[in-house]
Amino acid sequence: MTEAGFNVHATAIVVGKTGLLFSGPSGWGKSMLAFTCMTEARRLGLFTALVADDQVLLSREAGAVIATCPPSIIGLIELRGTGIVRQDHIPRAVMHYAVLPGSATGEDRVPPEGEMVSLAAGFSLPALRLLTGVSSPLAILMAKVPDIGR
């Protein structure tokens, strides 16, 4: 049974069989981080695809969070300062983690273990924190969760 969904400002990709939802404030670099992760995955010989950029439609099926893309932007990702580019894409995927902005200073620089993020009522995912501008975001995510990409 599918639960009604909603539209979130995020970028959704798949690396291997792992769904990653990049969520955060406008200008954080969600699209560029997701694109860089897909580029890294390809170099590693891993399957990767875009699900949606900028607008991600989320729903629930059998307890899983499912991401899909509005028809008008299928296969497109905006790389700020460069423009809109076409990427290999899939129509839908289960999302396993929410990738959120990290902090380099203060008490927040080491996020709590087991952190969950609520995307809306009844929609939550385990959170992974990532700084923008890192050169190998996928390597960092894989260091935290070795199953990413498998």
* Tens-digit pLDDT profile for residues 127-136: 999 988 888 9
pLDDT computed for residue 103 by the predictor: 79
Q: What percent of the chain has pLDDT over 70?
A: 95
Counting beta carbons within 10 angstroms of the beta carbon of residue 150, is it exposed (0 to 12), middle (13 to 18) or buried (19 or more)?
exposed
CA distance 14 to 150: 11
CA distance 76 to 54: 9
pLDDT computed for residue 106 by the predictor: 64
Query: pTM score > 0.85 for this model?
Result: yes
Question: In the chain, how many H helices and how many E strands?
Answer: 2, 12
CA distance 12 to 125: 13
* Tens-digit pLDDT profile for residues 81-92: 889 999 999 999
* Tens-digit pLDDT profile for residues 11-53: 999 999 999 999 999 888 999 999 999 999 999 999 999 999 9
Containing H/E element for 35? helix 30-43
Q: Is the pLDDT of residue 4 over 70?
A: no
Distances (CA, A) of 118 to 8, 9, 85, 100, 115: 12, 14, 30, 12, 10
